[in-house]
Structures are given as structure tokens and as C-alpha cells.
Amino acid sequence: MRYDADMAVPFLDLSRVNSPQWADYRAAFDRVMTESQFIMGTDVEAFEREFAAWVGVTHAVGMSSGTDALLATLMAYGIGPGDDVLVPTLTFFATAGTVARLGARPIFVDVDPSTMLIDIDQALERRTANTRAIISVHLFGQCVPLDPLQDTTLFIIEDAAQAHGATNSHGVMVGAQGHAACFSFFPTKPLGGFGDGGMVTTNDDDFADRLRLMRVHGARPKFHHLHVGGNFRLDTLQAALLRHKLPTVDAQADARRAIAARYRDALSVLEGRGTWRWVGRTPGRHVFHQLCGLASARDELRAYLKTLGIGTGVYYPEPLHTQPCFESLEQGLGHCPNAEKACNELVALPCFAGLTDSEIDEVANAIISFYL
Ligand SMILES: Cc1ncc(COP(=O)(O)O)c(C=O)c1O
């Protein structure tokens, strides 16, 4: 996948990200073809073990996507009609969509205007008598500090879809901080696969067992259904390929951190002018799934960069609480003002392993020439 393939500086070029390991991926593909074990089997089990060890948890359960990881987690916890679940409004749709699909109510929470992460204090204030869980999203690759939640009875779900390898200020990996954590292997993610895939991590033996049951239509033994689950299995082929990619994730995050640092230096001339502000950082290791700033005249800036052949992204153009499908929840405009404002200003710059120094400088100089 090459976003803005016609651009001189693409927003994202996955062929550059993945090409150093192409030979390994081809060998893994060949091996799975030869073995012809396409559903579950040793590659899925081995990848689950390797991923759990990397995150520092006892269980990792492969899933068909990040969305299904969230859905299966909520199902395994028994979330349903009458339950409320706290979610940030600035996130990908799946964070709230999965809650609504189960008949529960998402309660939208605003973001911290500096980091764009869920405002945990407000989340605690917005709890109702029916609030059973919170999904905290480690947005853009930075870790939400979850310490204030530890004394609550809330079931803490980390949405770690964008933050493989990030840590909190104590050095604990995302995925090892809540009761369960949901990862996506969508191709653009920090551990991106070659199609859809996902994972749930947990230290809870019983919960891991329920997840494993949920992903096979709740059947144990086969054809005997204890629960209504779904087909949430991670493909064997994805697992085989991702086993080769996992050892490269930390180095790729290092590369994105170096890119972010170069942009920061280059754009420091804009500091204090009120036109460009970086999205703030929380303590801990940030893996820069997205490198985002808040830009005045954002849409004009993007159009200008486009004329120069520079691709950018917007995450997200609209918060979730104002989406038409959630109108009946009556949490519309004004419910989360920080996110409403940010959605007009957020812009993501090209930031991927393989981006060259001269490309970074080209983007930075173009932004400077727009504002100065
Ligand atoms: C924060 C967040 N949650 C959930 C998802 C859903 O993951 P997937 O696309 O693998 O279903 C994504 C990715 O798109 C995401 O960014």
C-alpha cells in the first residue's frame, strides 16, 4: 500500500517499510503453502507465545482484526444491553462501534487538549451506575497513563491498535497494563500484517480461555456451543508472516522516533507563533504510529503541501460523538469541545521507516514556507 502514490513524498509507503524483509516473508508464505495448514496450528500458537513474551503477559490470543479483538473482549466480559462503556471520542470508529454493536451504550469522553488522549479525570466523572468498562486508546502510539484507574472497579481495556511497543513512565509495555488489551495488525500499524489481523493480551487465565472460546463460535468441543461467539480467528498465513515481522518492530519505532526528532528540530522556528503546535507527549516510550501537529489553516496547509507533492493525513476529521449513527445517544455537539476543535486542526506528517532525511527536510521547509 502506498498512500498518495503519485506524491513526491508519500504519506506512507509500505513497500519501503516491508521490503528489507521480503525474502523472509516469501519463505514463510512458501512454507505455509507447503504445509497447507491454513487455519490455526503451530504458526498461530507460536506467534501468540512470541507476542505474549514481547509484551510481557501470560496470554496472547490471535484475532481476525483489531475490531474483532475489541468485540471478542467485550463479549467475553459479558458486555451487553444496559451496560455503559467509557470511550474516547477521538479514535477510530471500532472503539465505540463494537460497544454499540453489543447493545451497550458508549459514553464519550473528551481528550486532553495537549496529548489528544482520553481525559481520564473526565472519564471518571462521566461514570454512571451502569458503567462496567473503559476502553482507553493509546492514540498515535503514545501510552495513556492508566494509574488513576487502578483503584476503580472498571474493567480496563487498552485499545493498543496504534501502539505496539509503547511503554508507560514505569517502562511497562502497552498490552500489559489493563485487564485486557486489543491490538490490530492492519497493514499500516506499528506491527502491520499483510491483510487484517489482531490480538488480545491478558494476564487472566480464565479470561484468555473465554476469548479462545469466543473466537470459535463459543464451541467446545467442536459443534457443541457453550456461547454465541463468532469466527474471530487469526489466519495462519498472517501469523506465519507476522512472526518474521515482530523482531523488526522496535527498530522501526526507533526509526520513526528519529524522524520525529528531525522534524521537531526543523520546525522549531515556528514555535510560539501560534500557527503550528506538536501534539504533546506523555511520559514513556512513544512509537509514533502517527506524527501529528495542530495547524492553523490546516486544510489550506494540506492543499498547499499537496501542490508540492507532499502527502499528509488527518486523524480524525470528525469525532465519534457527533457521528450520525450515534445521534440517538444525545451526546452531540458540545459534549467534547476539545476534540471538536482538534478535528479542524490535526494533521499527520509522513513518518515511516525508510523516509529519507532529505524528504523530511523537504516537508519541513514546505510547512515553514507556508507559514512564514
Ligand atoms: C484505535 C483503533 N482501534 C481499533 C482499530 C481497529 O482495527 P482493525 O482495522 O484491525 O479492525 C483501529 C485500526 O484501524 C484503531 O486505530
Residue boundaries of the structural domains of the chain: 2-15+249-371, 21-248
DSSP character at residue 192: -
pLDDT computed for residue 6 by the predictor: 73
pLDDT computed for residue 155 by the predictor: 98
CATH 3.40.50.1820 fits 2-15+249-371, yes or no: no
CB atoms within 10 A of CB 217: 17
- On whether the CB atoms of residues 42 and 29 are closer than 8 A, the answer is no
Residues of the chain with pLDDT under 50: none
pLDDT computed for residue 96 by the predictor: 98
Q: How far is the CA of 224 from the centre of ligand 1 (A)?
A: 31
Domains 2-15+249-371 and 21-248 share a fold: no
Q: How far is the CA of 15 from the centre of ligand 1 (A)?
A: 21
Name the grid cell of 181. Answer: 488489551
Q: Fold for 21-248, please state it.
A: Aspartate Aminotransferase; domain 2 (3.40.640)
Q: How far is the CA of 342 from the centre of ligand 1 (A)?
A: 20
User: Using a 6 Å CB cutoff, which residues line ligand 1?
Assistant: 65-67, 91-92, 94-95, 137, 159, 161-162, 184, 186, 196, 198
Query: Does the pTM exceed 0.95?
Result: yes
Q: How far is the CA of 67 from the centre of ligand 1 (A)?
A: 6
pLDDT computed for residue 282 by the predictor: 85
Point out the ligand 1 atom lying closest to the alpha carbon of residue 185.
10
Helix H or strand E encompassing 131:
strand 131-137
pLDDT computed for residue 262 by the predictor: 98
Point out the ligand 1 atom lying closest to the alpha carbon of residue 196.
10
At which residue does the C-alpha cell 509495555 appear?
Answer: 173
CA atoms in the 13 A half-sphere facing the CB of 309? 8
Q: How far is the CA of 276 from the centre of ligand 1 (A)?
A: 27
pLDDT computed for residue 5 by the predictor: 65
Size (the chain), residues: 372
92, 98, 183, 232: which to mutate for ligand 1, most atoms within 8 A of CB? 92
pLDDT computed for residue 4 by the predictor: 67
The set of long-range contacts for 3-9, using a CB threshold of 8 Å and a minimum separation of 24, is 3/311, 3/313, 4/311, 6/309, 7/306, 7/309, 7/310, 7/311, 8/308, 8/309, 8/310, 8/362, 9/309, 9/310, 9/311, 9/350, 9/355, 9/359, 9/362, 9/363
pLDDT computed for residue 206 by the predictor: 98
pLDDT computed for residue 7 by the predictor: 84
pLDDT computed for residue 203 by the predictor: 98
